[in-house]
Amino acid sequence: MPEETARVGVFVCHCGLNIAGVIDIKALVEYAKTLPYVAFAGDNRYSCADPGQEQIRKEIRENKLNRVVVAACSPRMHEPTFRKCISSEGLNPYYYEMANIREFSSWAHGSMPKEATEKAKDIVRMAVAKAVLLKPLEVIEVPVTNQALVVGGGIAGINAALDLADMGFKVYLVEKSESIGGHMAQLDKTFPTLDCSICIEGPKMVDVNRHPNITIISNADVVRVDGYVGNFKVKVRKNPRYVIAKNCTGCGECRDACPIEYPNEWDMNMGVRRAISVPFEQAIPLIYTINMDYCIECYKCVDACGAREAINFEQRPEEIELDVGAIILATGFDIYMPTDDPLYGYGKYDNVITALEFERLILAAGPTGGKVLRASDGKKPHSVTFIQCVGSRDVNKYEYCSGFCCMYALKDAILLKEKYKDDVEVHLMYIDMRTNFKGYEEFYRRARDLGIDFIRGKASQVLEDQKTKNLYIRAEDMSLGEPIEIESEMVVLCTAAIAKDDSADVARVFGISRGSDGFFMESHPKLKPIDTPTDGIFVAGACQGPKDIPYSVAQGSAAASRAATILSKPKVKIEPIIAVVDQKTCQNTRVKCGICEKVCPYGAAKAPEKQPALVTPAMCHGCGTCVAECPTDAIAQMHFTDAQIMSQIHAALETNPQETILGFLCNWCSYAGADLAGTSRFEYPPNLRPIRVMCSGRVDRDFVLEALRLGAGMVLVAACHLPYDCHYISGNVWMTKRMTALKGMLEKLGMSPERLRIDYVSAAEGVKFAALIKELADQMNALGKDRIMAENAKLKPIIEKMLARKKAEIPVAVAAPAPKS
């Protein structure tokens, strides 16, 4: 048996003072030496740095180590680092296990060093127990389709597409609306250069249209994404324009003949467009579209089109499938429309508008031909006030700062002043002036020099004069220290940049997460701002967080480069943490089973009639749901086998099980949320002993039963939020079904209901995780040790009977540690 020859090396990291400042490193190292199969135990200041890694390699050589445990930070942080490290010394990278004693111990229990050290010892013990049973795994290689998909045709998406296309890759650019260009194309001028926006973006849009490697698929939605990195299959639905793209020359005669007008969203609903029209004159692709909600089917457009015959009322939605190797999401942002805000009167008072509406007024191609006019009387305003931070930096609405509003407010104020000069009085009410990039501070100076009146103080209320429709703005002028009221003929609200309202659907289709502010979540905010936790999918531009144009352009190019690291290689490596069926044990040959096929969301598990089930390795994403659901335990998940997890359970419950909360945390959400609790230093009681699984779907009933049999106080199974957040689509759904049924049964057998807790924590919910553990600890204390032991004693014989059929080896070789003297 492999564990007889296991030689484990334990390396405890100081992580500077992050760990060493709380945990007694010496005691921990001494403890590790006492564990079975540990051939070496040592410590290091920074294990991840070169000297630390060098030490690990040295000890592997000198002590002939064949398993390595590093007790340090989160495996989500550095597992790849140390796997690379040991493989460079000739050891299979999957012989590595991480003991997270930073996020889960030193950082979460900073004020309880003794308890933190005890918890760290347990975590190390659990890691060693699993390490002993680890098996070598070989990485799977799959071929790469060297085509890319860019979702979203704004300035970030355009740049990503152009860069990839110039590198030689074929790019599909899918855009939801009728034209590419995004919000940048709606603007008049861009800060700080005051370049005309469409003048600089237009040529890029034309380049995209003309590039032989780029195919624009506009007026289309992505409905489904299957596959994995290097091999995505994307279903796109092209929505009907009722115009045949090949035949349309963009002449516009149909538009001239059309009698119906409707509000133009592109013009912020301030102007109109015809039932058959393009959203704006420089639309790319220049193909007209009929809006069937308004068309009265008079067919005047058909007559006007004549011999070109470009109009087809019979057009239906068309679904196409794209094969791509990498996907870039550049879906952009939306502007907060403050119709629900009672303070500023937007929607109530005619002369209160948002900044994007102002942009469409002052733009020459806008609905008023470039004249800034009041809605109430169509006259030019003699005074305009800009109000900053409407909805942003607001605990009642959006807590974050939207980043570019100070700059665009300055831009709009400067444009207004330069257009109407002394005819207009411009006030700007702000909290802070955030002008922090190249040329931005100088831009602010320019605004001041033009005589724009800056009032430092957030506006608290806007009221209207019924007769003149002028507005009275109340604020506290911080410089004067007094409340003021100014009268203005027009008010422009600089509203927050928010995540697009369909971003939840987009996140679900692509299988990525969103942060608490609604924008797409990157792998790491500092070091991996373009990657998402899903391999092969990248984010660029404002969909990741509000940003200005140069930043979006830079991210577009960055995403192209990241995507190219996959597309430029003929093969990509897939992690071998997959499910494997033991064909002898599978019962599908004897009875009609097929449970694994039913629960697999990727179609990787198939159970053909009368034959043993089979899992296609390249399609398996490694959630482990089939593993937990298999009634005969015929399926094993590599690197997360039943034996390995059972050994962790045993190790966790060796000392004081009645005061232990055994937690099964899923890698993508709840484990990450727990990491965040630690990173944020939210303290919670030290009773938790965590076991990481890739997906909550992996948590077998037998794990919970074994934990109770060994005397556990509480068991927690934490997953991604229902119904859509599971990284593996439905793992959390099956877990909930399974655990709810188990909980009902255990309650009937006499277990207090709070002792098995099923809960949902997302990667952004550090606060919730800490609160959850506190609640569980409080409940456990309320029940009391005696009651828990009594319940466990009653359950034990029943559980032992239920587990008798389990064939997984529960290694007895992991002996209890010698009692401390």
Partner 1 sequence: MPIKELKIDNENELTIQRLLHAKHYELTLTRTLCVGCEICKTICPREAIDVKKQPKQQGQKTQRPIIDVNPQKCTYCGMCEPICPFDAIRVNVNGQHLVSVVEKESFPRLIHEIEVDASKCSLDCVECEKACPLNLIKVALLTPEGKQLPHEKLKTYSDRNDLKVQVNILKEQSPCCRLCEVKCPEGAIHVRKIFHGVLDINVEKCPPNCQDCLDVCPIPSALFLNSDGKVYPNAAFCVFCGACKIVCPADGALVMERRSVYHTPIKSGAWNKAIEKLTSTREYSKESQTKRAAKVQQSIERKSLLKGVENA
Judged by the rule CB under 8 A, the positions of this chain that interact with partner 1 are 257-263, 268-272, 294, 296-300, 303, 307, 337, 339, 346-347, 349-353, 357, 361, 367-368, 373, 375
What's the min distance (Å) between Cβ of 297 and partner 1?
Answer: 5
What's the min distance (Å) between Cβ of 358 and partner 1?
Answer: 10
CB closer to partner 1, 348 vs 785 = 348
Tokens of 285: 């692709």
- 87 by DSSP, 3-state: which? helix
What's the min distance (Å) between Cβ of 542 and partner 1?
Answer: 22
Length of the chain: 821
Q: Which residue has the tokens 């067919």?
A: 299
101 residue type, one letter? I
Q: 70: exposed, middle or buried (C-beta count within 10 Å: 0-12, 13-18, 19+)? A: buried
d(CA 189, CA 791): 72
Helical (H) or strand (E) element with 475: strand 471-477
The C-alpha angle 67, 73, 79, rounded to 5 degrees, equals: 50
d(CA 240, CA 446): 48
CB closer to partner 1, 469 vs 806 = 469
Strand partners for 428: 386, 454
- Are 127 and 99 within 8 A, CB to CB? yes
Q: Closest by alpha carbon to 226, among 102, 323, 157, 355?
A: 323
Signed CA dihedral, 572, 573, 577, 579: sign only: positive
- Are 42 and 12 within 8 A, CB to CB? yes
CB closer to partner 1, 305 vs 455 = 305
- 627 by DSSP, 3-state: which? helix
- B/e letters for 706-745, b = 16+ CB within 10 Å, e = fewer, are bbbbbbbbbbbbbbbbeebbbbbbbbbbbbbebbeebbee
Tokens of 464: 């209207």
CB closer to partner 1, 300 vs 569 = 300
- Are 2 and 131 within 8 A, CB to CB? no
d(CA 322, CA 77): 33
CB closer to partner 1, 263 vs 784 = 263
CB closer to partner 1, 4 vs 293 = 293
CB closer to partner 1, 150 vs 275 = 275
CB closer to partner 1, 464 vs 522 = 464
CB closer to partner 1, 291 vs 516 = 291
What's the min distance (Å) between Cβ of 259 and partner 1?
Answer: 4
d(CA 23, CA 100): 13
Q: What are phi and psi of 661, to 5 degrees?
A: -100, 110
d(CA 522, CA 545): 10
- Are 351 and 490 within 8 A, CB to CB? yes
Please report which residue ranges of 280-404 form alpha helices under DSSP H.
Answer: 300-305, 355-362
What's the min distance (Å) between Cβ of 390 and partner 1?
Answer: 14
CB closer to partner 1, 361 vs 447 = 361
What's the min distance (Å) between Cβ of 488 and partner 1?
Answer: 15
What's the min distance (Å) between Cβ of 255 and partner 1?
Answer: 11
What's the min distance (Å) between Cβ of 272 and partner 1?
Answer: 6
d(CA 379, CA 373): 5
- Are 430 and 477 within 8 A, CB to CB? no
Q: Kindly provide the residue ranges of all beta strands, DSSP E only, lying in 623-681, ordered along the sequence.
A: 635-637, 661-666
CB closer to partner 1, 175 vs 357 = 357
What's the min distance (Å) between Cβ of 360 and partner 1?
Answer: 9
d(CA 670, CA 676): 10
CB closer to partner 1, 354 vs 544 = 354
CB closer to partner 1, 251 vs 401 = 251
CB closer to partner 1, 347 vs 525 = 347
d(CA 506, CA 336): 19
What's the min distance (Å) between Cβ of 312 and partner 1?
Answer: 14
CB closer to partner 1, 467 vs 526 = 467
CB closer to partner 1, 464 vs 700 = 464
What's the min distance (Å) between Cβ of 186 and partner 1?
Answer: 15
- 164 by DSSP, 3-state: which? helix
What's the min distance (Å) between Cβ of 576 and partner 1?
Answer: 55
What's the min distance (Å) between Cβ of 366 and partner 1?
Answer: 8
Say if strands 220-228 and 96-100 run parallel, antiparallel, or are unpaired.
unpaired
From residue 61, alpha-carbon distances to 85, 88, 95, 118 in Å are 13, 11, 15, 30
How many C-beta atoms surround the C-beta of residue 477 within 10 A?
Answer: 14
What's the min distance (Å) between Cβ of 468 and partner 1?
Answer: 16
Quick one: DSSP state of residue 775?
H
Please report which residue ranges of 197-251 form alpha helices under DSSP H.
Answer: 197-210
CB closer to partner 1, 257 vs 577 = 257
What's the min distance (Å) between Cβ of 218 and partner 1?
Answer: 25
What's the min distance (Å) between Cβ of 605 and partner 1?
Answer: 50
The C-alpha angle 141, 147, 151, rounded to 5 degrees, equals: 115
What's the min distance (Å) between Cβ of 75 and partner 1?
Answer: 50
Helical (H) or strand (E) element with 174: strand 170-174
What's the min distance (Å) between Cβ of 349 and partner 1?
Answer: 8
Q: 318: exposed, middle or buried (C-beta count within 10 Å: 0-12, 13-18, 19+)? A: exposed
8 residue type, one letter? V
CB closer to partner 1, 140 vs 373 = 373
- Are 61 and 85 within 8 A, CB to CB? no
